[in-house]
Amino acid sequence: MKKRSIVYLFLFAIIGMVLYAFFIEPKRIVTHHYTVGTNDGQKPVKIVQLSDIHIQENYSTTQLEKIVTKVNNEQPDMILFTGDLFDNYAKYGPAEEVIAAFDRLSAPLGKYAVWGNHDYGGGAAHAYPEILAASGFQLLENSGVNVPLSNGKSVYIGGLDDSMLGNSLIEETLAGRQSDYTILMSHEPDKADDVLDHDIQLILAGHSHGGQVKLPFFTIKNALAEKYYDGFYSLANETTLYVNTGLGTTKIPARFRVPPEIAVFDLYV
């Protein structure tokens, strides 16, 4: 009888974890707050990073509205989106609803985005730039912008083209740089190793989903997110990399021990 009870408990635990992974954790949104740089008494620049929303039938615009509310409650100065808006645009792509939601995101110093591999695939390549432009995002494709700050300094926001389906060029991305501090957006985190000699202070990436389903002694890793896949990494030449674990799912609509993430950075320049 004891053995049978243990087996039943084990089966119930497995069923519970599966239900949690498919129906509960993917709908959670965890907001992580970080401080970058040295607090010098000045007001920091508040930056929100979003990544890998992967809008699909299992992650509809209703969930996107929750993201918008949480982001606006943070009152960010700047919003950076590191790619993968739709999972498969040709299959499920409610453009007008996404534009309306993204347009409600508020950031006085600007909203910026880069290409992800899913933004090229699934018929999204033509729609993605139009959706971003209509919702007030500036798409950085091997380009950047110098953003002046209230303390007289400035931050350069550079955006690499996608490294899998695009053509990422770091020299072009930094060509217009005239700032005290550089943030580089790259959808794929492992691209960071190729840009470490370009005086970049912070790299923000996504793509990995943090493994999406994290089991003991085993984490699923994506191409170009095998070396760096979750959180902060201190790299050469005083470069910091942050890999956002994303908000949506792909391949399977499940998350386990990797809840959807909004990253908020108080940046001191």
State which amino acid sits at residue 262.
Answer: I
The structure tokens listed for 45 are 């620049």
Under-70 pLDDT residues of the chain: 1
How high is the pLDDT of residue 7? 77
How high is the pLDDT of residue 199? 97
The mean predicted confidence, pLDDT, of the chain is: 95
Superfamily in which the 1-267 domain is placed by CATH: Metallo-dependent phosphatases (3.60.21.10)
How high is the pLDDT of residue 40? 82
CB 147 within 8 A of CB 157: yes
How high is the pLDDT of residue 167? 97
